[in-house]
Structure 1
Amino acid sequence: MVGFHQLPKEPTQSDLEKMLRGHRLTTAEILYRMPDNLDLLQMYVWQDLDIAPDFPVLRDFLHFWEDNLDGPLHAVRVASVGIIKPAELRAFTPDNIIRIH
């Protein structure tokens, strides 16, 4: 896809910090019409950390698409899953030894 624009990420937050604050791995299947033949559909897969159910990062990307790209959007299907939750994060003490044989 020509003209893809990577939205700037917040420099002070790591992906882990975002996940601990509720960001989820979000995948969007974007169907759009080919600019030179509107009868043809093309698929684009987008993935980033975002906040359900409003998905502000995805919405920003879709607004960018509509404002800057020629292929009109046809449909967007979204899936989202939490990768890590605070209760799943455990710290190990020096007494905990992990041995791999």
Structure 2
Amino acid sequence: MSDRGFIAQLEGYGLTTAEIHYYRPDAPSLLQLFTWQEYDLAPDFPVLFDFLDHWRREIEAALHSVRIAHGRLIGPTEWRAVDGIIPLP
């Protein structure tokens, strides 16, 4: 069993957070905030842009702005498998 996020990091993905500001149709004068977080590839952000395309097609809320933060937490060269048993006290 493996963690999807860990495997994504080994493949070069980093944690991406997007602040999505939008207007709902029932309150067009009220700017609202949605925070989205997923593993994605910078600088193209294909996962985020797929989500934003879905938003534009399926959600009846007009986008105002999107602010993106991205951080690579681990890279393939920073991780290596170790054979053996490490006893814990």
Q: TM-score range by the shorter chain?
A: 0.7 to 0.9
2:62 corresponds to: 72
Greater RCO structure (CA 8 Å; 6+ sep): 2
- Structure 1 distance, partners of 2:67, 2:87, is 42
CA RMSD of aligned residues (A): 1.8
Structure 2: state its 5+ residue gaps: none
Greater share of residues in strand: 2
1:99 and 2:81 aligned: no
Matches of residues 12-91 of structure 1 in structure 2 within 5 Å? 14-91=4-81
Aligned partners of 1:74 and 1:62: how far apart in 2?
A: 12
Task: Provide TM-score, normalisation by structure 1.
Answer: 0.76
Higher normalized helix content (fraction of residues): 2
Question: Within 1, Cα distance between the matches of 2:65 and 2:24?
Answer: 13
AA partner of residue 21 (structure 1): E
Which runs of at least 4 in structure 1 moved beyond 6 Å after TM superposition? none
- Cα deviation code 1:25-78 (max 9, x no counterpart): 100000001211211011000011111001011001001111111110000000
**Deviation of the 1:86 alpha carbon:** 1.4
How many residue pairs get aligned? The number is: 87
Please say if residues 20 and 35 of structure 2, whose CA atoms lie closer than 8 Å, have aligned partners that are also in contact. yes
Report the Cα offset of residue 98 of structure 1: 4.2
Structure 2 CA distance, aligned partners of 1:98 and 1:85?
Answer: 26
Contact 2:12/2:76 (8 A) holds in 1: no
